[in-house]
Amino acid sequence: MRVKHRRYDPEHDFLRVRDLLANHYLVGGSPYNWGIERWNYARYFVAPMFGAQGLVNASMDDIRKKSQEAIRFWENSIGVWENESGEIVGVVNPEEYAPKHPGTPYIQRHPSYDCLLGEMIDYAETTFAGNGKVRIFVLEHDKKFQALAGKHGYLKDSKPCGYYSEYDLGQLPVSDLPEGYRILSMADENDLDKRRKVLGLSFRHKDPNDWPTLFSYQELQRAPDYRNELDLVVTNASGEYLACCIVWLDEHNKIAHLEPVGSIRLGMGRQVVLEGLRRAATLGAQKAVIESDLRFYEKIGFKRIHPSGCIWTKEGF
């Protein structure tokens, strides 16, 4: 079946790429493409956040303008491959991408279209070369991609690959949230100033200029797979937000994804994650998956299941 390559059309392609990722997130029982949370988060949060870096004190009009420019820049970098039936069977996209920051291209595909890999690597090199090199992400179990990357002159980084970790949602503990604390969702209290503050502080950004802008969070809430009832925070008696977590529900695979998780109070990160998993389970999710092997998740009950992947680098551009 013939396949044509074209530029990404944001008006018509966002959900079609999302469906490619969901339909082929798991191949042979192992993660094969991005989860839907990463695709939503890259477009609706990471891109506008990049555009607004350092502009927290600017006017809302300036923040919106710069954020929208960054979104367009991200979208214009993406290539898609479509078969004769109109199905998107391949996509090359970045996660973090901005002018002077070419980012890492992610090469994602339908498992029956390995024949596209060479063309997709060529597109990645043409579009994302920066500082004299291209860095691509290759899963540890994707031997076909690894072999082709090697033939194209890429070398695997020496840094060890990470892991995907899973949690069986049939074995969730009951809540043991200490007295005086509450868990709220953005459906209960949509205070975006406090929400972006706890996210910024969770990642050790003390300067408000380094926090996501209000527009970035407003844009995130427009993401097709975002659910405000699954955007959770832990509060104390004073109403201060102490931990946060967004659960993204992949209904096709019955999987819950977490992106992002943050905490500024010891023990509250565990509380917000487990509550998110309990809510996902009531909506039909059977397991949670996160691309992380941090001790934090292991202590909650996540178990390492599959190796993740590594960056492969080619220089000389």
User: Tens digit of pLDDT per residue, the chain (317 long)?
Assistant: 799 999 999 999 999 999 999 999 999 999 999 999 999 999 999 999 988 877 767 788 889 999 999 999 999 999 999 999 999 999 999 998 776 667 899 999 999 999 999 999 999 999 998 888 999 999 999 999 999 999 999 999 998 889 999 999 998 999 999 999 999 999 999 999 999 999 999 999 999 888 999 999 999 999 999 999 999 999 999 999 999 999 999 999 999 999 999 999 999 999 999 999 999 999 999 999 999 989 999 999 999 999 999 999 999 88
Same domain, 151 and 174: no
- Cβ neighbourhood burial of 190 (10 Å; 0-12, 13-18, 19+): middle
Residue 152 belongs to domain with CATH number: 3.40.630.30
pTM given for the model: 0.95
Let me know whether 241 and 296 are in one domain.
yes
For residue 307, what are the contacts with CB-CB under 8 A and spacing of at least 6? 139, 140, 141, 161, 162, 163, 164
**For residue 60, what pLDDT is reported?**
83
Q: Is there a single domain that holds both residue 103 and residue 86?
A: yes
Residues 150 and 13 both lie in one domain: yes
Residues 120 and 207 in one domain: no
If asked whether residues 25 and 82 sit together in one domain, one would say yes
Note whether 153 and 191 are same-domain residues: no
Residue range(s) defining the domain that contains residue 272: 166-306
Residue among 186, 5, 203, 197 nearest 107 (CA): 5
Let me know whether 125 and 178 are in one domain: no
What was the pLDDT predicted at 57?
A: 73
* pLDDT for res 100: 65
SS3 state of residue 221: coil
In this structure, the number of other CB atoms found within 10 A of the CB of residue 34 comes to 25
Please tell me whether residues 112 and 202 are part of one structural domain.
Answer: no
Q: How many domains does the chain have?
A: 2
- CA dist 56 → 200, 204, 210, 212, 280 (Å): 12, 17, 8, 8, 33
Tokens of 57: 């004190």
Q: Which segments of 2-116 are extended strands (E)? A: 3-7, 26-27, 30-31, 79-83, 88-94, 105-109
Same-domain pairing of 147 and 181:
no
Residues 157 and 172 in one domain: no
Task: Say yes or no: 219 and 252 in one domain.
Answer: yes
